[in-house]
Structure 1
């Protein structure tokens, strides 16, 4: 027991001296709770979603007086109708001089909203669309796969490099002809290959079990996943470029992952959220991965439809790799 208490005391002293670790463990949960409470804690529960096209008129103003209805503005019907077709919104209305509305008659919530809409007293022109409903499982599947990609990419490559640096392996590699770019490239390709094999297996099994919604090309989906994983692996290299402390690196990686978990649309859509929040989300690589993945799987988008997301992910990858190469150290600072 004397040995045990001696070792316990030594470890406690070591932890207390490691101010970065214990202060992070205290501060980070508080920051996370405050962020969630600030962003999402004061909103009423929204039961219905209504898409709006065109300027607001008296009829739409009357409809907006109904509580528990979330209104989402769209630029045109080409963008909004696929949402209604797949039950992602419950009703679509057009303001201005043309008071029209579109309804998916297979939607129970759309049926109730139509009854409310007709009580406004305006002369509405009805149009009907049909389509296979997108289950929440279909919508959230890219988010679940995205979490797996994110954690495998960031923590897998990040902690592996930190351990090599901590154990002195990188210091010995510095004496060889290998340069930082070659070493980091090998780490990236190795992690990416393993990740892609894993994701392909997961997608095949999940498709057999749940017959998830897939409107687009599997090849394009594969390209999006590969490029997204590459960008996240490159981001993980930045976090591990200098540190030799695993606890600090884990804290830094958590700092990187949690904003993406909260703001990238993994569990819920940011449509209807404040515009500043949507702009912040666009700075995160996971947002572009999920937007492109859902566009292909649910909307059947082609390369042109996800071109912006692909270019952003490619650009972020090049930026992250450049920063990681410039910051990389063989030995612990």
Structure 2
């Protein structure tokens, strides 16, 4: 690979990106508008049945009046465990909403802030059941009291849970749109054929495009984290730097989607629209804008096969949930496999000129 050719091509691509106001807007400004919106305002949302882990014997539940207990079991989906540490870990991971245990006459609720709405609802509903049970046992001092404890560090704020999803969406959109528009635009303008006939190796052309796309993604990450920290008090957990290689692999994955769209579509507008058709629904189905707890089980299962879900979950694990660096390994493998398969399909369909 010629270093001079690589440098010149990279600079040309960067200049084209900077001069294209629409590309800059949709890659940087438009996603940041959502970051500011979600960081400054966190609206109300509906909630679904609460997943509860009952740790050991919980006398509060056993002594509930029959009517309250029936309503309680309709509100909470209860599983049982004798391991408090494992139960709290599930809540922290997002596999359950709350774990409850009894300490004397105090009901301890270990809850997660991953979904702010559900956290508030969980505490409010539990407190209502505690009050109604105490009222049913009238003639005595209050029998039970509720104590709520967050499983996350108290320093974590709403912005922590919003940032990974919005960043994943921004990178997916930028990488896919950029690849689709560049491939199709260069092919329709005959620039791709001229580059093929030039002495510049194809590997240099591909390397320059990939390098610029990754550089844009890392710039997006720096801007998101910088703005989040400066304006909204964003703080990250210890293993967050491993989100960088995860983001790079995710960028390659969505660049492959853009290449597929660019290879199939006949016009630049068609390529961008096709990429948008793929990425935008994926953003909603992958938790980029809001949690999927209220979605049907089949829809949540569908989300787990989408590459953006793996990117979002991997970043959430290491940036917010305090998971170790190994938490990104499986998402990286899934994203890399997806990128290889889609790239192979795009290469099969690729044509140097419009037919």
The TM-score normalised by the length of structure 2 is 0.66
Structure 2 Cα separation of the partners of residues 227 and 79 of structure 1: 31
Q: CA shift at 1:103, angstroms?
A: 4.3
1:204-262 per-residue CA deviation (whole Å, 9 max, x = no partner) reads 23212222141132321212211111211121111112433122212211221122122
Equivalent in the alignment of 1:92:
99
Q: Name the stretch that deviates more: 275-284 or 169-178.
A: 169-178
Aligned to 2:129: 117
Of residues 156, 160, 167, the one that matches 1:145 is: 167
Matched, 1:81 2:103: no
Residue 172 of structure 1 deviates from its aligned partner by: 2.2
- Could you give the per-residue CA deviations for residues 270-303 of structure 1, whole angstroms, max 9, x where no partner exists? 2353332122111211101110111111111112
- How far the C-alpha of 1:267 sits from its partner, in A, is 1.7
Aligned partner of 1:309 in structure 2 is 331
Question: Which residue of the partner structure matches residue 193 of structure 1?
Answer: 215
Give the alignment partner of residue 239 of structure 2, picking from 206, 211, 217.
217
- How many residue pairs are counted as aligned between the two chains? 285
What is the aligned partner in structure 1 of residue 281 from structure 2?
259
Q: Work out whether residues 215 and 298 of structure 1, in 8 Å CA contact, stay in contact via their aligned partners in 2.
A: yes
Instruction: Using the TM superposition, name which of 58-67 and 157-166 deviates more.
Output: 58-67
In the other structure, the counterpart of 2:190 is: 168
Residue 102 of structure 1 corresponds to which residue in structure 2?
Answer: 109
Matched with 2:47 is 46
Q: Which region of structure 1 is more displaced relative to structure 2, 139-148 or 110-119?
A: 110-119
Give the C-alpha shift of residue 264 in structure 1. Answer: 0.3
Aligned residue among 232, 240, 244 for 2:254: 232
- Which ranges in structure 2 are unaligned for 5 or more consecutive residues? 1-44, 102-106, 114-118, 138-142
Among candidates 30, 49, 65, match of residue 71 of structure 2 = 65
SS in 2 for 1:92: strand
Shift of 1:305: 2.4
Q: Decide which of 124, 129, 133 is 2:149's aligned counterpart.
A: 129
1:29 maps to which residue? none
CA distance in 1, matches of 2:78, 2:277: 31
Work out the CA distance in 2 between the residues paired with 1:72 and 1:161: 52
1:271 alignment counterpart: 293
**What residue number does 2:315 align with?**
293
Matched residue SS, 2:197: coil
Counterpart contact for 1:142–1:293, Cα < 8 Å: yes
Secondary structure, aligned partner of 2:109? strand
Equivalent position of 1:11 in the other structure: none
Partner of 1:319: 341
SS in 1 for 2:329: helix
2:292 and 2:186 map into 1 onto residues whose CA distance is 39
Contact 1:163–1:244, Cα closer than 8 Å, also in 2:
no
Change (3 A) 1:164 1:86: closer
Choose 230-239 or 119-128, whichever is displaced more. 119-128
What TM-score, normalized to structure 1? Answer: 0.70
**Pick aligned residue for 1:207 from 223, 226, 229:** 229
SS in 2 for 1:241: helix
Q: CA RMSD in A?
A: 4.1
Unaligned runs of 5+ in 1: 1-43, 95-99
2:263 alignment partner, SS class: coil
Deviates more, 1:237-246 or 1:271-280: 271-280
Match of 1:97 in 2: none
